[in-house]
Structure 1
Amino acid sequence: MSVWKKAAKAHQKTHKERHQPEERQHLGLLEKKKDYVRRAKDFNDKKATLKLLRKRALNKNPDEFYHHMINSKTDNGVHFEKNTETEDTPEQVQLMKTQDLKYIVTKKTQEMKKIEKLQSHLQLASVDMNKTNKHIYFDKGKKLEAQRRTLKLLSEKELPEVDEHALQQSAKTRKCLYQELAKRIAREKELTITQQKIELSKAVENKKSVLPPKRIKKGTKDSAPIYIWKYERKR
Protein backbone atom coordinates (compact mmCIF):
# COMPACT_ATOMS: atom_id res chain seq x y z
CA MET A 1 0.00 0.00 0.00
CA SER A 2 2.87 2.35 0.85
CA VAL A 3 4.28 1.88 -2.65
CA TRP A 4 1.02 3.16 -4.19
CA LYS A 5 1.05 6.18 -1.83
CA LYS A 6 4.54 7.11 -2.93
CA ALA A 7 3.55 6.71 -6.57
CA ALA A 8 0.51 8.98 -6.05
CA LYS A 9 2.59 11.65 -4.31
CA ALA A 10 5.05 11.72 -7.19
CA HIS A 11 2.55 13.65 -9.34
CA GLN A 12 1.32 15.97 -6.61
CA LYS A 13 1.75 19.69 -6.80
CA THR A 14 4.59 21.07 -4.70
CA HIS A 15 3.18 23.86 -2.55
CA LYS A 16 5.47 26.84 -2.03
CA GLU A 17 5.83 28.58 1.32
CA ARG A 18 4.11 31.88 1.92
CA HIS A 19 6.45 34.78 1.24
CA GLN A 20 6.69 38.19 2.88
CA PRO A 21 4.24 40.72 1.40
CA GLU A 22 5.78 43.55 -0.57
CA GLU A 23 4.74 46.24 1.92
CA ARG A 24 6.60 44.29 4.68
CA GLN A 25 9.80 43.55 2.76
CA HIS A 26 11.73 45.92 5.03
CA LEU A 27 11.04 43.56 7.97
CA GLY A 28 13.10 40.75 6.42
CA LEU A 29 12.11 37.14 5.88
CA LEU A 30 8.68 36.00 7.02
CA GLU A 31 8.94 33.89 10.15
CA LYS A 32 7.53 30.39 9.77
CA LYS A 33 6.06 28.27 12.54
CA LYS A 34 9.19 26.14 12.90
CA ASP A 35 11.23 29.31 13.38
CA TYR A 36 8.81 30.55 16.03
CA VAL A 37 8.91 27.21 17.85
CA ARG A 38 12.71 27.26 17.93
CA ARG A 39 12.82 30.88 19.13
CA ALA A 40 10.18 30.26 21.82
CA LYS A 41 12.01 27.18 23.09
CA ASP A 42 15.29 29.11 23.35
CA PHE A 43 13.55 31.97 25.19
CA ASN A 44 11.90 29.62 27.70
CA ASP A 45 15.16 27.73 28.34
CA LYS A 46 16.99 30.97 29.10
CA LYS A 47 14.14 32.13 31.32
CA ALA A 48 14.22 28.87 33.32
CA THR A 49 18.01 29.10 33.68
CA LEU A 50 17.84 32.67 35.00
CA LYS A 51 15.12 31.66 37.45
CA LEU A 52 17.22 28.76 38.75
CA LEU A 53 20.33 30.93 39.14
CA ARG A 54 18.33 33.62 40.95
CA LYS A 55 16.97 30.98 43.33
CA ARG A 56 20.47 29.62 44.04
CA ALA A 57 21.80 33.13 44.69
CA LEU A 58 18.99 33.82 47.19
CA ASN A 59 19.51 30.52 49.02
CA LYS A 60 23.32 30.79 49.14
CA ASN A 61 24.96 30.93 52.55
CA PRO A 62 27.45 33.87 52.64
CA ASP A 63 29.50 32.15 55.38
CA GLU A 64 29.91 28.91 53.44
CA PHE A 65 33.53 27.92 52.71
CA TYR A 66 34.76 25.96 49.72
CA HIS A 67 38.34 25.33 48.64
CA HIS A 68 38.07 27.25 45.39
CA MET A 69 37.90 30.45 47.47
CA ILE A 70 41.68 30.19 47.91
CA ASN A 71 42.37 30.62 44.17
CA SER A 72 39.51 33.01 43.33
CA LYS A 73 38.57 36.53 44.29
CA THR A 74 35.71 38.99 43.80
CA ASP A 75 36.67 42.61 43.23
CA ASN A 76 33.90 45.23 42.83
CA GLY A 77 31.42 42.52 41.90
CA VAL A 78 33.71 41.03 39.22
CA HIS A 79 34.90 37.45 39.77
CA PHE A 80 38.33 36.38 38.54
CA GLU A 81 40.93 33.72 39.26
CA LYS A 82 43.98 34.60 41.35
CA ASN A 83 46.34 32.10 39.79
CA THR A 84 45.93 32.62 36.03
CA GLU A 85 49.32 31.16 35.09
CA THR A 86 48.94 28.22 32.73
CA GLU A 87 51.11 25.14 32.85
CA ASP A 88 52.02 25.21 29.13
CA THR A 89 52.81 28.04 26.75
CA PRO A 90 50.83 28.30 23.46
CA GLU A 91 53.92 27.15 21.54
CA GLN A 92 54.30 24.07 23.77
CA VAL A 93 50.59 23.22 23.42
CA GLN A 94 50.79 23.50 19.64
CA LEU A 95 53.90 21.31 19.50
CA MET A 96 52.39 18.65 21.79
CA LYS A 97 49.16 18.55 19.75
CA THR A 98 50.58 18.63 16.23
CA GLN A 99 54.01 16.97 16.45
CA ASP A 100 55.34 13.74 17.90
CA LEU A 101 58.34 13.06 20.13
CA LYS A 102 60.72 12.16 17.27
CA TYR A 103 60.15 15.52 15.56
CA ILE A 104 60.87 17.44 18.79
CA VAL A 105 64.06 15.44 19.47
CA THR A 106 65.25 16.09 15.89
CA LYS A 107 64.62 19.84 16.12
CA LYS A 108 66.33 19.96 19.52
CA THR A 109 69.43 18.22 18.11
CA GLN A 110 69.54 20.69 15.21
CA GLU A 111 69.32 23.65 17.60
CA MET A 112 72.12 22.23 19.78
CA LYS A 113 74.41 21.86 16.75
CA LYS A 114 73.68 25.43 15.63
CA ILE A 115 74.37 26.71 19.16
CA GLU A 116 77.74 24.91 19.26
CA LYS A 117 78.62 26.35 15.84
CA LEU A 118 77.76 29.90 16.92
CA GLN A 119 79.70 29.53 20.17
CA SER A 120 82.74 28.29 18.29
CA HIS A 121 82.59 31.39 16.03
CA LEU A 122 82.07 33.85 18.84
CA GLN A 123 84.22 32.12 21.48
CA LEU A 124 82.67 34.53 24.00
CA ALA A 125 85.45 37.04 23.39
CA SER A 126 83.68 39.81 25.26
CA VAL A 127 83.61 37.80 28.50
CA ASP A 128 86.74 37.55 30.60
CA MET A 129 86.74 33.94 31.78
CA ASN A 130 90.21 34.04 33.39
CA LYS A 131 90.74 35.03 36.99
CA THR A 132 92.72 38.25 37.36
CA ASN A 133 95.96 37.99 39.31
CA LYS A 134 96.00 40.52 42.14
CA HIS A 135 99.51 39.71 43.35
CA ILE A 136 101.70 42.84 43.53
CA TYR A 137 105.36 42.64 42.54
CA PHE A 138 107.81 45.21 43.94
CA ASP A 139 110.52 45.93 41.33
CA LYS A 140 113.77 47.71 41.87
CA GLY A 141 114.56 51.19 40.57
CA LYS A 142 116.40 50.00 37.42
CA LYS A 143 113.46 47.91 36.22
CA LEU A 144 111.07 50.79 36.79
CA GLU A 145 113.30 53.12 34.79
CA ALA A 146 113.45 50.63 31.89
CA GLN A 147 109.65 50.33 31.89
CA ARG A 148 109.30 54.13 31.77
CA ARG A 149 111.66 54.35 28.79
CA THR A 150 109.73 51.64 26.96
CA LEU A 151 106.42 53.42 27.55
CA LYS A 152 107.91 56.69 26.33
CA LEU A 153 109.17 55.08 23.13
CA LEU A 154 105.77 53.47 22.51
CA SER A 155 103.96 56.78 23.00
CA GLU A 156 106.30 58.59 20.59
CA LYS A 157 105.88 55.91 17.92
CA GLU A 158 103.13 56.62 15.41
CA LEU A 159 100.25 54.22 15.72
CA PRO A 160 98.31 53.11 12.62
CA GLU A 161 94.95 54.72 12.01
CA VAL A 162 91.91 52.67 13.05
CA ASP A 163 88.96 52.37 10.65
CA GLU A 164 85.97 53.37 12.79
CA HIS A 165 83.43 52.20 10.20
CA ALA A 166 84.96 48.71 10.18
CA LEU A 167 84.89 48.62 13.98
CA GLN A 168 81.21 49.65 14.07
CA GLN A 169 80.33 47.06 11.43
CA SER A 170 82.18 44.35 13.36
CA ALA A 171 80.43 45.31 16.62
CA LYS A 172 77.04 45.28 14.87
CA THR A 173 77.70 41.83 13.39
CA ARG A 174 78.84 40.50 16.76
CA LYS A 175 75.70 41.89 18.44
CA CYS A 176 73.46 40.18 15.87
CA LEU A 177 75.27 36.88 16.40
CA TYR A 178 74.84 37.13 20.18
CA GLN A 179 71.12 37.87 19.74
CA GLU A 180 70.73 34.85 17.46
CA LEU A 181 72.61 32.71 19.98
CA ALA A 182 70.28 33.83 22.81
CA LYS A 183 67.19 33.04 20.71
CA ARG A 184 68.48 29.58 19.81
CA ILE A 185 69.34 28.81 23.45
CA ALA A 186 65.79 29.81 24.48
CA ARG A 187 64.35 27.68 21.64
CA GLU A 188 66.45 24.67 22.69
CA LYS A 189 65.32 25.08 26.31
CA GLU A 190 61.66 25.21 25.26
CA LEU A 191 62.04 22.09 23.10
CA THR A 192 63.70 20.29 26.04
CA ILE A 193 60.80 21.15 28.37
CA THR A 194 58.26 20.06 25.73
CA GLN A 195 60.12 16.76 25.26
CA GLN A 196 60.10 16.11 29.02
CA LYS A 197 56.37 16.86 29.26
CA ILE A 198 55.51 14.50 26.37
CA GLU A 199 57.66 11.70 27.81
CA LEU A 200 56.04 12.14 31.24
CA SER A 201 52.51 12.17 29.81
CA LYS A 202 53.24 8.96 27.89
CA ALA A 203 54.71 7.35 31.00
CA VAL A 204 51.68 8.35 33.08
CA GLU A 205 49.26 7.03 30.44
CA ASN A 206 51.10 3.71 30.27
CA LYS A 207 48.63 0.97 31.26
CA LYS A 208 51.33 -1.55 32.18
CA SER A 209 51.77 0.00 35.62
CA VAL A 210 49.07 -1.19 38.02
CA LEU A 211 49.55 1.64 40.54
CA PRO A 212 49.15 5.17 39.13
CA PRO A 213 51.99 7.62 39.86
CA LYS A 214 51.67 10.45 42.35
CA ARG A 215 52.34 14.00 41.22
CA ILE A 216 54.40 15.87 43.82
CA LYS A 217 54.99 19.05 41.83
CA LYS A 218 52.84 20.78 39.23
CA GLY A 219 54.42 21.66 35.91
CA THR A 220 55.07 25.24 34.82
CA LYS A 221 56.08 26.99 31.62
CA ASP A 222 59.76 26.53 32.49
CA SER A 223 59.72 23.03 34.02
CA ALA A 224 57.96 19.71 33.60
CA PRO A 225 55.83 18.18 36.38
CA ILE A 226 57.41 15.72 38.80
CA TYR A 227 55.85 12.29 39.41
CA ILE A 228 56.77 9.48 41.77
CA TRP A 229 56.03 5.84 40.92
CA LYS A 230 55.62 3.36 43.70
CA TYR A 231 58.14 0.54 43.63
CA GLU A 232 56.76 -2.68 42.12
CA ARG A 233 58.47 -5.99 42.43
CA LYS A 234 59.12 -7.53 39.02
CA ARG A 235 58.55 -11.25 38.63
Structure 2
Amino acid sequence: MLILVTHSPLLNCHMSHTARYVWSMYRFDLVADLYMLCFDLFSDYHKKQNTLAALHKKTLDKNPDEFYFKMVSSQLKDGVHVANKAKGTEEENTEEQRKVMRTQDIRYVEMKRVAEGKKIERLKSELHLLDADGKQKNGHTFYLDSKQEVADFDLASHLDTAPELVDRVYNRPTLHTLESQTIQGAVEPLVIKKLARQRKHQYKILSQRIDREKKMFVIGQKIQTRKDLHDKNKKVKVSKETVNASAVYKFEAKRKR
Protein backbone atom coordinates (compact mmCIF):
# COMPACT_ATOMS: atom_id res chain seq x y z
CA MET A 1 0.00 0.00 0.00
CA LEU A 2 1.45 3.36 -1.07
CA ILE A 3 1.08 6.20 1.50
CA LEU A 4 1.64 9.73 0.18
CA VAL A 5 2.56 12.43 2.70
CA THR A 6 1.25 15.86 1.69
CA HIS A 7 2.60 19.25 2.57
CA SER A 8 2.63 19.89 6.31
CA PRO A 9 3.66 23.27 7.84
CA LEU A 10 4.57 21.49 11.07
CA LEU A 11 7.00 19.27 9.15
CA ASN A 12 8.61 22.20 7.31
CA CYS A 13 9.23 24.24 10.45
CA HIS A 14 11.68 21.63 11.75
CA MET A 15 13.58 21.26 8.42
CA SER A 16 16.38 23.30 6.96
CA HIS A 17 16.08 24.81 3.49
CA THR A 18 18.09 21.96 1.91
CA ALA A 19 16.08 19.29 3.72
CA ARG A 20 12.79 20.85 2.59
CA TYR A 21 14.06 20.82 -1.02
CA VAL A 22 15.11 17.15 -0.85
CA TRP A 23 11.79 16.17 0.72
CA SER A 24 9.80 18.01 -1.94
CA MET A 25 11.78 16.26 -4.72
CA TYR A 26 11.27 12.87 -3.05
CA ARG A 27 7.55 13.58 -2.76
CA PHE A 28 7.45 14.52 -6.46
CA ASP A 29 9.13 11.23 -7.41
CA LEU A 30 6.55 9.30 -5.39
CA VAL A 31 3.70 11.07 -7.15
CA ALA A 32 5.31 10.44 -10.56
CA ASP A 33 5.85 6.73 -9.81
CA LEU A 34 2.27 6.37 -8.61
CA TYR A 35 0.98 8.06 -11.74
CA MET A 36 3.03 5.83 -14.05
CA LEU A 37 1.92 2.71 -12.17
CA CYS A 38 -1.74 3.66 -12.47
CA PHE A 39 -1.26 4.60 -16.13
CA ASP A 40 0.31 1.19 -16.93
CA LEU A 41 -2.45 -0.68 -15.09
CA PHE A 42 -5.22 1.24 -16.84
CA SER A 43 -3.54 0.84 -20.25
CA ASP A 44 -3.12 -2.91 -19.79
CA TYR A 45 -6.72 -3.29 -18.61
CA HIS A 46 -8.18 -1.37 -21.56
CA LYS A 47 -5.92 -3.21 -24.02
CA LYS A 48 -7.21 -6.56 -22.77
CA GLN A 49 -10.80 -5.35 -22.85
CA ASN A 50 -10.40 -4.18 -26.45
CA THR A 51 -8.86 -7.54 -27.42
CA LEU A 52 -11.75 -9.46 -25.83
CA ALA A 53 -14.28 -7.20 -27.54
CA ALA A 54 -12.61 -7.75 -30.92
CA LEU A 55 -12.57 -11.53 -30.42
CA HIS A 56 -16.20 -11.49 -29.33
CA LYS A 57 -17.16 -9.50 -32.43
CA LYS A 58 -15.16 -11.88 -34.63
CA THR A 59 -16.99 -14.83 -33.09
CA LEU A 60 -20.39 -13.24 -33.71
CA ASP A 61 -19.51 -12.42 -37.33
CA LYS A 62 -18.12 -15.90 -38.06
CA ASN A 63 -19.96 -18.01 -40.59
CA PRO A 64 -20.57 -21.47 -39.04
CA ASP A 65 -20.63 -23.08 -42.51
CA GLU A 66 -17.29 -21.60 -43.57
CA PHE A 67 -14.54 -24.13 -44.32
CA TYR A 68 -11.02 -23.89 -42.92
CA PHE A 69 -8.21 -26.24 -43.93
CA LYS A 70 -7.32 -26.68 -40.25
CA MET A 71 -10.61 -28.53 -39.83
CA VAL A 72 -9.10 -31.49 -41.69
CA SER A 73 -6.23 -31.94 -39.22
CA SER A 74 -7.96 -30.98 -35.94
CA GLN A 75 -10.99 -31.88 -33.90
CA LEU A 76 -12.79 -30.72 -30.77
CA LYS A 77 -12.20 -32.73 -27.59
CA ASP A 78 -13.86 -31.56 -24.36
CA GLY A 79 -14.21 -28.07 -25.79
CA VAL A 80 -10.52 -27.83 -26.76
CA HIS A 81 -9.14 -27.98 -30.30
CA VAL A 82 -6.65 -30.83 -30.67
CA ALA A 83 -4.51 -31.20 -33.79
CA ASN A 84 -4.48 -34.65 -35.36
CA LYS A 85 -1.21 -36.13 -36.55
CA ALA A 86 -0.85 -36.48 -40.28
CA LYS A 87 -0.68 -39.96 -41.73
CA GLY A 88 2.82 -41.26 -42.15
CA THR A 89 4.30 -39.04 -39.43
CA GLU A 90 6.16 -40.94 -36.75
CA GLU A 91 6.00 -40.15 -33.07
CA GLU A 92 9.29 -38.69 -31.88
CA ASN A 93 9.22 -39.95 -28.28
CA THR A 94 7.12 -42.37 -26.31
CA GLU A 95 5.71 -41.37 -22.92
CA GLU A 96 8.23 -43.65 -21.19
CA GLN A 97 11.14 -42.03 -23.03
CA ARG A 98 9.90 -38.52 -22.20
CA LYS A 99 9.59 -39.42 -18.52
CA VAL A 100 13.10 -40.90 -18.31
CA MET A 101 14.67 -37.99 -20.22
CA ARG A 102 12.98 -35.47 -17.89
CA THR A 103 13.97 -37.16 -14.63
CA GLN A 104 17.22 -39.04 -15.22
CA ASP A 105 20.75 -38.10 -16.18
CA ILE A 106 22.70 -39.69 -19.02
CA ARG A 107 25.09 -41.35 -16.53
CA TYR A 108 22.18 -43.16 -14.86
CA VAL A 109 20.81 -44.29 -18.23
CA GLU A 110 24.23 -45.55 -19.33
CA MET A 111 24.68 -47.40 -16.03
CA LYS A 112 21.31 -49.14 -16.45
CA ARG A 113 22.14 -50.02 -20.07
CA VAL A 114 25.48 -51.59 -19.09
CA ALA A 115 23.77 -53.56 -16.30
CA GLU A 116 21.17 -54.86 -18.75
CA GLY A 117 23.94 -55.82 -21.18
CA LYS A 118 25.70 -57.90 -18.51
CA LYS A 119 22.45 -59.66 -17.59
CA ILE A 120 21.83 -60.40 -21.28
CA GLU A 121 25.27 -61.96 -21.69
CA ARG A 122 24.75 -64.09 -18.58
CA LEU A 123 21.36 -65.32 -19.84
CA LYS A 124 22.84 -66.10 -23.25
CA SER A 125 25.58 -68.18 -21.69
CA GLU A 126 23.04 -70.06 -19.58
CA LEU A 127 20.81 -70.76 -22.57
CA HIS A 128 23.71 -71.57 -24.92
CA LEU A 129 22.39 -68.99 -27.35
CA LEU A 130 25.47 -69.03 -29.53
CA ASP A 131 23.73 -67.95 -32.73
CA ALA A 132 22.05 -64.87 -31.26
CA ASP A 133 21.88 -61.52 -33.04
CA GLY A 134 25.03 -59.51 -32.72
CA LYS A 135 27.30 -62.59 -32.82
CA GLN A 136 28.79 -64.10 -35.89
CA LYS A 137 27.58 -67.63 -36.60
CA ASN A 138 30.16 -70.37 -36.30
CA GLY A 139 31.53 -71.84 -39.49
CA HIS A 140 33.40 -75.09 -40.07
CA THR A 141 35.28 -75.67 -43.33
CA PHE A 142 36.13 -79.16 -44.58
CA TYR A 143 38.75 -79.67 -47.30
CA LEU A 144 38.32 -82.55 -49.76
CA ASP A 145 40.46 -83.77 -52.62
CA SER A 146 37.93 -84.15 -55.43
CA LYS A 147 34.49 -83.01 -56.57
CA GLN A 148 33.21 -86.57 -56.22
CA GLU A 149 34.10 -86.55 -52.53
CA VAL A 150 32.27 -83.23 -52.17
CA ALA A 151 29.16 -84.70 -53.80
CA ASP A 152 29.27 -87.82 -51.59
CA PHE A 153 30.13 -85.89 -48.42
CA ASP A 154 27.96 -86.77 -45.40
CA LEU A 155 28.36 -84.39 -42.47
CA ALA A 156 26.89 -86.76 -39.85
CA SER A 157 29.24 -89.63 -40.74
CA HIS A 158 32.20 -87.25 -40.95
CA LEU A 159 31.50 -85.91 -37.43
CA ASP A 160 30.66 -89.43 -36.19
CA THR A 161 27.36 -88.40 -34.68
CA ALA A 162 23.64 -88.87 -35.21
CA PRO A 163 22.01 -86.87 -38.05
CA GLU A 164 19.62 -85.28 -35.52
CA LEU A 165 22.58 -83.74 -33.67
CA VAL A 166 24.39 -82.25 -36.66
CA ASP A 167 22.92 -78.74 -36.23
CA ARG A 168 24.10 -78.53 -32.64
CA VAL A 169 27.20 -76.55 -31.79
CA TYR A 170 27.22 -77.82 -28.20
CA ASN A 171 26.44 -81.15 -26.49
CA ARG A 172 27.00 -83.17 -29.67
CA PRO A 173 28.16 -86.63 -28.54
CA THR A 174 29.63 -89.18 -30.94
CA LEU A 175 27.97 -92.48 -31.90
CA HIS A 176 30.36 -94.40 -29.64
CA THR A 177 29.38 -92.22 -26.67
CA LEU A 178 25.69 -92.69 -27.41
CA GLU A 179 26.11 -96.49 -27.56
CA SER A 180 28.35 -96.92 -24.53
CA GLN A 181 26.88 -94.46 -22.03
CA THR A 182 23.41 -94.10 -20.61
CA ILE A 183 21.38 -90.96 -21.15
CA GLN A 184 21.67 -88.55 -18.25
CA GLY A 185 18.96 -86.05 -17.38
CA ALA A 186 15.21 -85.98 -17.69
CA VAL A 187 13.60 -88.67 -19.82
CA GLU A 188 10.01 -88.54 -18.60
CA PRO A 189 7.61 -86.55 -20.84
CA LEU A 190 6.22 -84.43 -17.98
CA VAL A 191 9.68 -83.42 -16.81
CA ILE A 192 10.76 -82.64 -20.36
CA LYS A 193 7.67 -80.43 -20.86
CA LYS A 194 8.38 -78.62 -17.61
CA LEU A 195 11.96 -77.97 -18.63
CA ALA A 196 10.77 -76.76 -22.04
CA ARG A 197 8.38 -74.29 -20.37
CA GLN A 198 11.18 -73.01 -18.14
CA ARG A 199 13.45 -72.62 -21.13
CA LYS A 200 10.73 -70.74 -23.04
CA HIS A 201 10.24 -68.44 -20.05
CA GLN A 202 13.97 -67.73 -19.92
CA TYR A 203 13.97 -66.86 -23.62
CA LYS A 204 11.05 -64.49 -23.01
CA ILE A 205 12.97 -62.76 -20.21
CA LEU A 206 16.01 -62.54 -22.48
CA SER A 207 13.92 -60.91 -25.24
CA GLN A 208 12.54 -58.36 -22.77
CA ARG A 209 16.01 -57.50 -21.50
CA ILE A 210 17.32 -57.06 -25.05
CA ASP A 211 14.40 -54.73 -25.82
CA ARG A 212 15.02 -52.77 -22.60
CA GLU A 213 18.71 -52.42 -23.39
CA LYS A 214 17.89 -51.03 -26.84
CA LYS A 215 15.46 -48.51 -25.31
CA MET A 216 18.10 -47.35 -22.83
CA PHE A 217 20.59 -46.93 -25.67
CA VAL A 218 18.14 -44.75 -27.65
CA ILE A 219 17.27 -42.64 -24.58
CA GLY A 220 20.97 -42.10 -23.86
CA GLN A 221 21.53 -40.98 -27.45
CA LYS A 222 18.63 -38.51 -27.26
CA ILE A 223 19.86 -37.00 -23.98
CA GLN A 224 23.38 -36.66 -25.40
CA THR A 225 22.01 -35.02 -28.56
CA ARG A 226 20.13 -32.44 -26.48
CA LYS A 227 23.36 -31.66 -24.62
CA ASP A 228 25.29 -31.32 -27.87
CA LEU A 229 22.74 -28.80 -29.16
CA HIS A 230 24.00 -26.28 -26.57
CA ASP A 231 27.17 -25.99 -28.64
CA LYS A 232 27.44 -22.57 -30.29
CA ASN A 233 28.78 -23.96 -33.57
CA LYS A 234 26.52 -23.94 -36.61
CA LYS A 235 24.52 -27.11 -37.05
CA VAL A 236 22.24 -28.59 -39.70
CA LYS A 237 19.53 -31.14 -38.94
CA VAL A 238 20.10 -34.20 -41.11
CA SER A 239 17.30 -36.48 -39.88
CA LYS A 240 14.35 -36.09 -37.53
CA GLU A 241 14.01 -37.71 -34.13
CA THR A 242 11.97 -40.94 -34.02
CA VAL A 243 10.98 -43.45 -31.37
CA ASN A 244 13.87 -45.76 -32.26
CA ALA A 245 16.57 -43.19 -33.06
CA SER A 246 17.72 -39.76 -31.99
CA ALA A 247 17.93 -36.78 -34.31
CA VAL A 248 21.10 -36.46 -36.38
CA TYR A 249 22.84 -33.09 -36.71
CA LYS A 250 25.80 -32.10 -38.81
CA PHE A 251 28.04 -29.60 -37.01
CA GLU A 252 30.30 -27.15 -38.76
CA ALA A 253 33.94 -28.06 -38.34
CA LYS A 254 35.73 -25.45 -36.23
CA ARG A 255 39.48 -25.19 -36.38
CA LYS A 256 41.14 -25.27 -32.98
CA ARG A 257 43.93 -22.81 -32.35
For the aligned pair, the TM-score class normalised by the smaller chain equals 0.5 to 0.7
CA–CA distance in structure 2, aligned partners of residues 106 and 181 of structure 1? 19
Q: Which runs of 5+ in 1 are unaligned?
A: 3-43, 63-68, 140-153
Letter in 1 for 2:218: I
CA–CA distance in structure 2, aligned partners of residues 182 and 225 of structure 1? 26
Counterpart for residue 152 of structure 2: 137
- Within 5 Å, give how 1:87-126 maps onto structure 2: 87-124=92-129
Match of residue 213, structure 2, among 188, 194, 206: 188
How many aligned residue pairs are there?
A: 163
CA–CA distance in structure 2, aligned partners of residues 217 and 138 of structure 1? 52
1:178 partnered with 2:193: no
- Work out whether residues 239 and 247 of structure 2, in 8 Å CA contact, stay in contact via their aligned partners in 1: yes
CA–CA distance in structure 2, aligned partners of residues 88 and 102 of structure 1? 20
Instruction: State the TM-score, normalized to the length of structure 1.
Output: 0.56
1:168 partnered with 2:193: yes
- Work out whether residues 124 and 130 of structure 2, in 8 Å CA contact, stay in contact via their aligned partners in 1: no
Instruction: State the TM-score, normalized to the length of structure 2.
Output: 0.52
Counterpart for residue 86 of structure 2: 82
- Within 5 Å, give how 1:22-37 maps onto structure 2: none
- Work out whether residues 120 and 210 of structure 2, in 8 Å CA contact, stay in contact via their aligned partners in 1: yes
Letter in 2 for 1:170: L
**Structure 1 pair 80/57, CA: closer, same or farther in 2 (3 Å)?**
farther
- Work out whether residues 239 and 248 of structure 2, in 8 Å CA contact, stay in contact via their aligned partners in 1: yes
Q: Which runs of 5+ in 2 are unaligned?
A: 4-50, 77-82, 143-148, 155-177
Cα deviations by residue, 1:14-58 (Å, 9 ceiling, x for unpaired): xxxxxxxxxxxxxxxxxxxxxxxxxxxxxx95x864542464668
* Percentage of pairs with the same residue: 30
Cα deviations by residue, 1:178-208 (Å, 9 ceiling, x for unpaired): 11111001100000001011111101013xx
Cα deviations by residue, 1:117-161 (Å, 9 ceiling, x for unpaired): 00000112798x56699954289xxxxxxxxxxxxxx9xxxx999
CA–CA distance in structure 2, aligned partners of residues 170 and 122 of structure 1? 12
- Work out whether residues 92 and 194 of structure 1, in 8 Å CA contact, stay in contact via their aligned partners in 2: yes
CA–CA distance in structure 2, aligned partners of residues 196 and 213 of structure 1? 17
CA–CA distance in structure 2, aligned partners of residues 114 and 167 of structure 1? 26
